Amino acid sequence: MSKNAPKKTTKKEIILDKASVMFREKGFSATSMRDLAESVGIEAASLYNHIQSKSQILQEIVFRAADDCNQHLEKLTTENASCTTKIESIIRFHVQMMMNRFEDYHVMTHEWIHLSEPHLSSFISQRRNYVQQLEAIVEECIQKKEFKTIIPYVAVLTILSAVRGLEFWHRSQKKITPAELEENMVTHLISGLKK
């Protein structure tokens, strides 16, 4: 504290990260502010100097993960790649999110239901929008005869859900490397779609 150099990890970030771990382990509702405070190393009341409410913590965790997904997709749509390559990129991105941002990704996919309004509606509409954009890419693959005829919505759900399932891998012994995992996922999911 002797210098005014900007600290990269603020106390608020520490709280969010600890909360992300606990929300994944026990769920949002089963995690108390006292549990969280203990994990951070302060009293429960002191948390409120850095955050406004338990609900706000969930919002920040969910949307910082959702924003990353949206940014990746936005960048991808400007790229000059084939639609099949785009789908593959999306699979790889989500597998990597699951690896590198495990806690946040899990909280986003499992605890979003506990968001309060208007954030709940906002999240649902963002997610629907995201899924629809993926559907459009799958649709393009079908029309270009790169994919077999399949319902795009079902294909997108299958891909996104399959990635979510990697949480079990994450908890297990990890005899499989992330790279192996990524290749296996792409193989199974993409070749199931190709003609």
Interacting residues with a second copy (CB under 8 A):
26-30, 110, 113-114, 148, 150-151, 153-155, 157-158, 160-166, 168-169, 176, 180-181, 184-185, 187-193
The CB-of-182 to a second copy minimum distance in angstroms stands at 10
Which pair of structure tokens corresponds to residue 112?
Answer: 């979003």
Which pair of structure tokens corresponds to residue 93?
Answer: 């991105």
Size of the chain in residues: 195
CA 191 to chain centre: 24
The mark string for 30-49 relative to DNA (x by CB under 7 A, - otherwise) is -xxxxx------xxxxx-xx
The CB-of-159 to a second copy minimum distance in angstroms stands at 8
Site stretch for DNA (CB under 7 A), options 25-33, 78-86, 139-147, 180-188: 25-33
CA 192 to chain centre: 24
Site stretch for DNA (CB under 7 A), options 28-36, 72-80, 90-98, 159-167: 28-36
DSSP per residue, 7-70: PSS-HHHHHHHHHHHHHHHH-TTT--HHHHHHHHTS-GGGGGGT-S-HHHHHHHHHHHHHHHHH
The CB-of-189 to a second copy minimum distance in angstroms stands at 6
Contact flag: residue 82 with DNA (CB under 7 A): no
CA-nearest of 74, 73, 96 to 170 is: 96
Contact flag: residue 11 with DNA (CB under 7 A): yes
Interaction site with DNA (CB under 7 A) = 11, 31-35, 42-46, 48-50, 53-55
